[in-house]
């Protein structure tokens, strides 16, 4: 299930990152037009052939089972709102895995517990006594997340009417080990021992545990698996199932899927998998997880009593390295040797640097281990204090009232706040005594604060900003807007921090225009407030103060390479490519300028080497390389014996912020899974279920033998354009460096689905896919290895109104990403870069809504 617990986190309102600013001239699309409110399932971003609930929040798929002609899809659901909370089990059914019917709420939360993720089985032998052998009960095995925060435990609910109504078992919980991080049971019938098998996650320990039971009520512990491979976040939603290798039923391997958050291959949430054997008690992976990094010259291993020639500033790093903890005694792991650098001296509030002496770059790579907070280096930021550049102050908020600024609502009160408000964590970083602070009365208060009109006379508008990260383009913003002629032309939001930091708008193109500033707080949830101070015009942009926790490589005093942690205490290998800096003088600097949750950095064993070290996240096997495929689990009891899987099509980095309403989140297309030998290695492959073809409408658009010159051209002269498509295409690379398709193209927007011949990677670029500015972690490029077969690159692409799912080759590589383009942008184009390629053949089918 759900959200990662934090190691060494401070209070909620102390998480710090750089302020997010954006230009909004053409980027954001409003979450939904008011005219659409009465037209369900036709909203701008509503998926047409992926399941989404009519309204409210949804995340992990749960309870996947086939029974009496129906595939059941339960899911984590908030019956009361459009963001995470009040976790209960929603319910939908299908006879073919593409036509879904949403049913009433299945298992609701109550005063004592939220109903977290789990599974469902058909108790055909009536082992529980909940039904009969002639009329077996469906039994849900779910995690009770007790609202008092004491623990998570496994519980039962049962249904005797095909899952329409449910009764919680009076003897709950049935498995309780007193842990706060014990969740997401996947239960199945294990025929060799005629018993139930539970696969469940010890989330914070990066372990999966196996239990056995004869009646689903009394459980016996069998074994543990892990930690192994990617451990940058908590382990959640495990699944275990057998598959024949290359279709041979005489050769069967087991697949263990472990979802991780954060620490995925593309950042944030993801699903990794292991291939191995299961003997009824223990899972043994074929890959033992061992790794030996490339040899080289050790520059620093932190094995001494002090830092030697490395020098410190501030107090974060203390007088010397920290002793490695005993295994399992803390949240720190992966230390090489006896000691490591850790800036948690005294807590997250401490800051400082640890810097190597200068050295001459004479190796190709610098390898090292890193962990700690995820606070990247921001180019242009200042280590230490950052004074305001000279300019004209528009508002310093030092007076008793707001002067000619006007308010609505209750959030901003009658005048500026004198710092921290009651119930708020300490506010820092303001200039002077007063500031705008919409925490008046708590996060539930809303309102606006609007300046009088003023002339833009300088190239930049600088200001200090803090508070919640809810961008202007979302439906519940906490944002500062620059408005010209009634239109928002620039905006900024906080970064879930009570520390104000400098931000700047480049308004050079608007000089001479009249504008006003609008401060908006429409958010009533966590971090539902905004901080603002020292608004000024200047010919120089303000430089933000550094809030990084990072390992940096400096050449001539400038940061040229940087690596941060993943909000994890598990040290893992990282590498700086030094080949462009041979012969230059360099220094290594470990920086902690963050005072909030995860405001620390861990580092160990710097080695100059000829080859890069490979981090565990890249050594792991991934079900999907995209940003938006998580909590992947498979159906039990399918009548044809095939294994089909589905995942939550979202990411915890920005899941609550995607610009959809009145629902939030969809599930992926169900996928048929297989184990195949690819390049000498067993790979989990997947293809969309064949029944998606029942949604085809119209005739196929097919093309053959098209040369793709450098540049781009419409596919099939525009006859294949559309918003919901199934595309199959085979390419010959030619001499192009990159080639492929762009979809949902138009008005400066496009989603790029390409192949890089130099790196042999499939990629999806959604940096210009439409609304991308609602969260800093959303825009980006996702990559996955894909080897051309017989000189050909085969792609299958499912395009829906707010997603792309790209299957490469025989399904050995998959990238799933959400996109939020303008509804009129429906073009498909072919492109090639650095040469020409050839489209051997393509077929495009329009896909209708499963609700039609």
Other residues' Cβ atoms within 10 Å of the Cβ of residue 428:
16
CA angle 43, 55, 799 (to 5 degrees): 45
Q: How many CB atoms lie within 10 A of CB 281?
A: 13
What is the torsion angle, in degrees rounded to the nearest 10, for the CA atoms of residue 745, residue 748, residue 754 and residue 758?
160
3-state SS assignment for residue 362: coil
DSSP 456-497: --SSEEEEEEEE--B-TTSSS-EEEEEEETTEEEEEEE--SE
Dihedral sign from CA coordinates of 360, 362, 368, 373: positive
Please answer whether residues 643 and 772 qualify as being in contact, where contact means their C-beta atoms are separated by less than 8 angstroms: no
Q: How many residues does the chain have?
A: 852
Q: Are strands 436-437 and 530-538 parallel, antiparallel or unpaired?
A: antiparallel
Distance CA 473, CA 230 (A): 34
The answer to whether the beta carbons of residues 443 and 528 sit under 8 Å apart is yes
Query: Angle at CA 672, nearest 5°, toward 668 and 673?
Result: 110
Contact 370, 603 (CB under 8 A): yes
pLDDT given at position 36: 43
pLDDT of residue 572: 94
Main-chain phi, psi angles of 690, to 5 degrees? -65, -25
CA distances from 228 to 135, 208, 622 (A): 42, 10, 13
> Running along the chain, 852 residues long, what does each successive block of 10 average in pLDDT?
39 31 35 48 95 98 97 98 95 98 98 98 98 97 96 98 98 98 98 97 96 98 95 95 97 98 94 98 95 96 97 96 85 93 91 97 98 92 84 91 95 94 92 94 95 97 95 88 96 92 96 97 93 97 94 96 93 97 98 91 98 95 98 95 97 94 97 96 97 97 97 95 98 98 97 97 98 92 96 98 97 98 97 98 98 90
Q: Coil, strand, or helix at residue 704?
A: strand
Can you say whether the dihedral through the CA atoms of 698, 42, 83, 24 is positive or negative? positive
pLDDT given at position 12: 28
Q: ∠ CA(107), CA(112), CA(116), 5° rounding?
A: 45
Q: What is the largest CA-CA distance in the chain?
A: 82
Report d(CA 430, CA 436) in Å as an integer: 10
Distance (Å, whole) CA 102 – CA 77: 12
Residue 130: predicted pLDDT: 98
Residues 6+ apart with CB under 8 A from 26: 747, 748
Residue with tokens 């299908």: 94
Q: What is the DSSP string of 121-173?
A: EE-TT-SSSSS-SSSPPEEEEEEEEETTSS-EEEEEEEESSTTSS-EE-TT--
Enzyme catalytic residues: 60
Distance in angstroms (rounded) separating the CA atoms of residues 242 and 792: 31
Report CA 638 to chain centroid distance, whole Å.
30
Q: Of 89, 33, 103, whose CA–CA distance to 57 is shortest?
A: 89
Q: What is the dihedral of CA 377, 381, 384, 390, to 10 degrees?
A: -170
Is there a contact between 744 and 826 (Cβ–Cβ < 8 Å)? yes
Q: Give per-residue burial for 565-604: e unless 16+ CB within 10 Å, then b.
A: bbbbbbbbbbbbebeebeeeebebbbbbbbbbbbbbbbbb
CA nearest 525: which of 113, 86, 114, 116?
86
């Amino acid at each position: 299930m759900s959200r990662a617990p934090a190691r060494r986190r401070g209070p909620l309102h102390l998480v710090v990152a750089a302020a997010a600013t954006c230009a909004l001239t053409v980027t954001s699309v409003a979450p939904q037009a008011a005219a659409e409110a009465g037209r369900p399932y036709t909203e701008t971003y509503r998926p047409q052939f992926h399941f989404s609930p009519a309204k409210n929040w949804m995340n992990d798929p749960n309870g996947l089972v086939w029974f009496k002609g129906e595939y059941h899809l339960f899911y984590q659901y908030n019956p009361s709102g459009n963001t995470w909370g009040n976790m209960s089990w929603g319910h939908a059914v299908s006879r073919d895995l593409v036509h879904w019917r949403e049913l009433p709420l299945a298992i609701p939360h109550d005063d004592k517990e939220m109903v977290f993720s789990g599974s469902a089985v058909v108790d055909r032998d009536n082992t529980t006594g909940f039904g009969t052998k002639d009329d077996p009960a469906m039994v849900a095995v779910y995690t009770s997340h007790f609202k008092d925060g004491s623990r998570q435990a496994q519980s039962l609910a049962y249904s005797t009417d095909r899952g329409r109504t449910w009764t919680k078992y009076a003897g709950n919980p049935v498995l309780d080990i007193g842990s706060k991080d014990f969740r997401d049971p996947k239960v199945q019938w294990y025929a060799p021992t005629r018993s139930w098998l539970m696969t469940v996650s010890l989330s914070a320990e990066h372990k999966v545990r196996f239990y056995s039971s004869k009646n689903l009520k009394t459980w016996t512990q069998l074994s543990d698996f892990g930690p192994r491979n990617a451990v940058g976040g908590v382990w959640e939603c495990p699944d275990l199932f057998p598959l024949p290798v290359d279709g041979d039923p005489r050769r069967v391997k087991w697949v263990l899927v472990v979802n991780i958050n954060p620490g995925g291959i593309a950042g944030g949430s993801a699903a990794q998998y292991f291939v191995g054997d299961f003997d009824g008690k223990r899972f043994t992976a074929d890959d033992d997880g061992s790794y030996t990094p490339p040899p080289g010259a050790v520059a620093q291993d932190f094995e001494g009593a002090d830092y030697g020639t490395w020098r410190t500033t501030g107090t974060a790093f203390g007088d010397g390295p920290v002793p490695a903890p005993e295994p399992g005694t803390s949240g720190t792991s992966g230390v090489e040797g006896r000691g490591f650098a850790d800036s948690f001296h005294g807590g997250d509030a401490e800051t400082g640097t640890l810097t190597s002496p200068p050295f001459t770059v004479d190796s190709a790579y610098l390898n090292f281990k890193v962990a700690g907070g995820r606070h990247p280096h921001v180019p242009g930021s200042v280590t230490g204090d950052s004074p305001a550049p000279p300019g004209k102050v528009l508002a310093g908020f030092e007076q008793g009232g707001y002067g000619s600024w006007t308010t609505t609502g209750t959030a901003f009160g009658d005048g500026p706040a004198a710092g921290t408000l009651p119930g708020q964590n300490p506010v820092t970083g303001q200039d002077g005594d007063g500031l705008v602070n919409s925490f008046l009365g708590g996060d539930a208060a809303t309102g606006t604060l609007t300046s009088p009109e003023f002339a833009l006379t300088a190239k930049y508008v600088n200001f200090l900003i803090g508070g919640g990260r809810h961008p202007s383009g979302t439906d519940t913003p906490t944002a500062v807007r620059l408005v010209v002629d009634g239109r928002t032309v620039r905006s900024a939001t906080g970064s879930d921090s009570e520390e104000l930091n400098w931000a700047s708008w480049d308004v050079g193109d608007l000089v001479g225009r009249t504008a006003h500033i609008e401060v908006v707080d429409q958010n009533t949830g966590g971090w539902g407030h905004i901080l603002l101070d020292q608004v000024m015009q200047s010919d120089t942009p303000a430089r933000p103060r550094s809030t990084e926790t990072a390992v940096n490589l400096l050449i001539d005093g400038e940061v040229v390479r940087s690596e941060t942690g993943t909000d994890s205490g598990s040290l893992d290998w990282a590498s700086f490519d030094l080949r462009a800096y041979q012969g230059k003088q360099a220094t290594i600097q470990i920086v902690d300028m963050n005072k909030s949750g995860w405001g620390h950095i861990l580092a160990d064993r710097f080695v100059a080497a000829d080859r890069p070290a490979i981090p565990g996240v890249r050594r792991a096997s991934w079900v999907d390389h995209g940003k938006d495929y998580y909590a992947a689990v498979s159906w039990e009891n399918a009548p044809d014996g095939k294994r089909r899987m589905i995942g939550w099509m979202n990411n915890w980095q920005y899941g609550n912020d995607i610009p959809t309403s009145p629902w939030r989140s969809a599930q992926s297309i169900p996928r048929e899974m297989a184990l195949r030998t690819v390049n000498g290695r067993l790979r989990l492959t997947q293809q969309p279920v064949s029944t998606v073809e029942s949604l085809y409408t119209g005739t196929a658009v097919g093309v053959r033998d098209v040369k793709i010159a450098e540049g781009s051209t419409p596919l099939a002269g525009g006859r294949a354009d559309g918003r919901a498509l199934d595309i199959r295409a085979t390419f010959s690379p030619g001499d192009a460096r990159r080639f492929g398709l762009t979809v949902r193209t138009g008005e400066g927007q496009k989603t790029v689905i390409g192949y890089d011949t130099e790196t042999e990677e499939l990629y999806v670029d959604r940096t210009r896919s439409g609304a991308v500015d609602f969260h800093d972690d959303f825009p980006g490029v996702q990559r996955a290895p894909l080897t051309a077969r017989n000189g050909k690159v085969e792609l299958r692409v499912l395009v829906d109104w707010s997603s792309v799912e790209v299957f490469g080759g025989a399904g050995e590589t998959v990238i799933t990403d959400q996109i939020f383009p303008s509804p009129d942008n429906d073009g498909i184009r072919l492109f090639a870069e650095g040469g020409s390629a050839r489209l051997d053949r393509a077929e495009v089918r329009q896909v209708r809504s499963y609700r039609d």
